[in-house]
A = this chain, B = another copy of it.
Amino acid sequence: MLKEERHHLILSQVQQHQKVLTVELSESLSVSEDTIRRDLKELAEKGQLKKVHGGAIAHSLNPVPFRDREIYAHEEKIIIGKKASQLVRQEQVVIMDGGTTNVEVARHFPQHLSATIFTNSIPVAVELTDHPNVEIIFMGGKLLKQAQVTVGEEVIEMIQGLRADICFLGTRSLHPQIGITEIDWEETKVKRAMLQASNELVIPVITEKIGTIQPYIIGKSPLISSIVSSMERKDPRLRPFREMGIEII
C-alpha cells in the first residue's frame, strides 16, 4: 500500500466520520502505528485535518447547533426575506427549501397567509408554526444534522408527486452561465426535484454568493423566475440575469 493511497483513505475517513483513531487506522491499513502517526502529522501540516492525541479530527468539526448559530449576513437576509415573502399568493402550494435565508422568508410571510407549504427544513417548519392558516407538510427522510434538512429517496419521491405554484430554493452559489450550484450531492438531488416540481422558481440570494460556483449543478439560470437580493435592480452583477428575462426583486 502506497503512502498516497493511505493518505486519501485517511482523509475520506475523516470526512465521513469526523474523526479517526491511530490504532484503528493501523489495524485496518495493516501498517504500524508509527506510520499512521507520521501520515497524520503530514496531513496536519498540509492543513487537511487536525491532529489530536489518539488520532485526528476534521478541521471543520464545528457543529454549532443550527438555531443557535450566529446567522451570517443576517441583516441582508432579513431584507431579502421581506421582499421574497411578498411573492406568495393566497391559497398557493409552495415548496420551501432549507437555509437561513429561507428561514427569513418564512418568518416574513404575512400572518394571515393561507397556503399549503411543503418543506424539508426543520427551521422553516418551526418558523411556519405560528401562521395559523398555513398547512405545513414536512417531507421526511434522512436528516442532515448540520443543515437540519432531510434528504434521500423519500423526499424526492414526495416532491415528484407534487405540482407546486412556487418554489423558494436556497442556494450556495449562483452564476449567470453555470447556474445554481451546490456543494452537497444529496441536497443537490433534492433541490433538482424541487425546481422541476414547481411552476415558478424564486432564488433568494445574498450578494456574495452571486458569481460563485460549487461542484454540483442544480439547474441552469434560465429556469429561474425571480432572483431576490438586497441589491438595486440595476446592479451590474445582476445584469446578465436581467437580460435572460429573469425578474429581479
> A65 touches which one: B19, B50, B130, B154 (CB < 8 A)?
B130
Whole-angstrom distance between the alpha carbons of A5 and B19 in the complex? 8
Q: Are A16 and B65 in contact (CB under 8 A)?
A: yes
Contacts of A16 in B (CB 8 A): 65, 68
8 Å CB contacts to B: which residues of A112-145? 120, 122, 125-126, 129-130, 132, 135-143, 145
User: How many residues of A are counted as interface, with CB atoms below 8 angstroms from the partner's CB atoms?
Assistant: 47
Across the interface, name the chain B residue whose C-beta is closest to A145: B129
> Is A61 part of the contact surface with B, judged by Cβ < 8 Å?
yes
Q: Are A140 and B158 in contact (CB under 8 A)?
A: yes
Across the interface, name the chain B residue whose C-beta is closest to A117: B143
Whole-angstrom distance between the alpha carbons of A54 and B136 in the complex? 28
Whole-angstrom distance between the alpha carbons of A140 and B118 in the complex? 10
Name, among A4, A122, A130, the residue most crowded by chain B CB atoms within 10 Å (CB to CB).
A4
> Is A150 part of the contact surface with B, judged by Cβ < 8 Å?
yes
Q: A2-B54, A53-B2 are in contact. Are A129 and B142 (CB under 8 A)?
A: no
> Is A196 part of the contact surface with B, judged by Cβ < 8 Å?
no
Contacts of A5 in B (CB 8 A): 19, 57
Q: Are A64 and B18 in contact (CB under 8 A)?
A: no
Q: Are B150 and A2 in contact (CB under 8 A)?
A: no
Contacts of A64 in B (CB 8 A): 12, 15
Given contacts A65-B130, A136-B142, list 12 more A-B pairs with CB under 8 A. A2-B19, A2-B52, A4-B19, A4-B61, A12-B65, A18-B132, A65-B129, A136-B145, A137-B140, A137-B143, A140-B140, A140-B154
Closest 3 CB pairs between A and B? A140-B140, A136-B143, A139-B140
